[in-house]
Amino acid sequence: MQQIELHIDGRAVSRIVGDGSPGCLSGLLAAEREVFLVHDRNVAWVADAVVAALPAAVFRGRRALEATEGGKEMATVLDICRWLMDAGASRKALLVAIGGGITTDLAGFAASIYKRGIRYANVPTTLLAQVDAGIGGKTGVNFLDYKNMLGVIVQPVFTYICSGVLRTLPRRDVRSGVAELLKTFLIEDSDGNYARAVRLFSSPERDGDGEDRAWELQALVFAAAAVKAGVVGRDPYEHGERRRLNLGHTFAHAIEHNARLAGDDITHGEAVSMGIILAARLSDRLAHQGGNNWCSACSDRAGCPRAEGMEARLRADFAAAGLPVDCPYPLAALAGAMEKDKKAGGGKVRFQIPVAVGRVEEAELDVADVINMLGTP
């Protein structure tokens, strides 16, 4: 079984473990006395396997969710808390979230406020959740049609990664996860994992079918998990370095906001893909303008690693991997949501700018200026 420890202030606070079948969770839960499950209805079979592996005296109940963006709201969190209270969950209980990022966000948030906090663990069943949402302790819900506006950061006891569940994912769900996988390696890529991921998903069998492809995907998932664990451990509350993990997300959340208003069907991963391409275009525009004050590397005597052409490269890579690369909305339509972004302050927004594969820089920019730059040929 592979294991990555997430350390904060020199102390291991969470573990990322796997692989195997869902039934292997029994060893991780052996010392528990109260285990409650919250799961996406679409992965009830995973919950069944976990329940079958638990002693009857330990398992105290399960609750199925309709894990949709529309249901990612405080009312659902309060329903989970009400269910825990009705079931007699004490402060020693462990709440296990089984599903994608919506499920882990909802369950983690409920655990953080029920009786002022009980422990929780994640069993992410989507590629996106295994490389991003299920790791790092971010929980939350949407508010007034804005993405993840309410929430807290609290680390799960563990995140259990079972690569076998990925084989049941629809192609579109796999692609959503690929966007976050590539994002992670754009941020940190000491081992050439970005190119490996692009090659893996650019082949005709993009879903990772076959034993060799499954093993390669598993290796990439754990490599991405290690990157995120390292970043979170160094900056658990997003005061600095962790903000890099938001690459593409300021644009993505605005795209999702517009999609909800228009009734369009765009997944989070698809929005992240489009958002990263827009961030790459912004990188090109800034490089072309020579605005060196935003990039810390520009003060290095060895020169700045950035170069124009990031959009063209990432657009080709992402499209080859089966990801959408064009935002369906006018750029001006994104402005309002970006100005309300959680990272906004003082009239500016912190944008994460990809300057090279494996390097992201931050720039505080006015949203109107960004929209104007992106619209300039």
By annotation, the residues acting in catalysis are 116, 138, 180, 228, 238, 242, 246, 249, 253, 268
Residue 310 near residue 283 (C-beta atoms within 8 A): yes
Cross-strand bridge partners of residue 38: 63, 97
Residue 326 one-letter amino acid: D
| C-alpha–C-alpha distance, residues 82 and 356, integer Å | 48
Eight-state DSSP code of residue 133? I
In whole angstroms, what separates CA 250 from the centre of its chain?
13
Run of H or E residues at 63: strand 59-65
**Strand duo 359-365 + 348-356: pairing:** antiparallel
24 contacts: CB under 8 Å, gap ≥ 6: 1, 53, 160, 162
| C-alpha–C-alpha distance, residues 159 and 38, integer Å | 14
| C-alpha–C-alpha distance, residues 94 and 90, integer Å | 9
Eight-state DSSP code of residue 301? T
SS percent in the chain: helix, strand, coil, step 5: 50, 20, 30
| C-alpha–C-alpha distance, residues 226 and 6, integer Å | 9
Could you give the count of Cα atoms lying within 13 Å of 99 in the half-sphere of its Cβ? 26
**Strand duo 146-150 + 141-143: pairing:** antiparallel
13 contacts: CB under 8 Å, gap ≥ 6: 6, 7, 155
Determine the straight-line distance between the first and last CA of the chain, rounded to whole angstroms. Answer: 51
Phi-psi region of 207 (alpha: psi -120 to 50; beta: other; left: phi over 0): alpha
Question: Counting Cβ atoms within 10 Å, is residue 191 exposed (0-12), middle (13-18) or buried (19+)?
Answer: middle
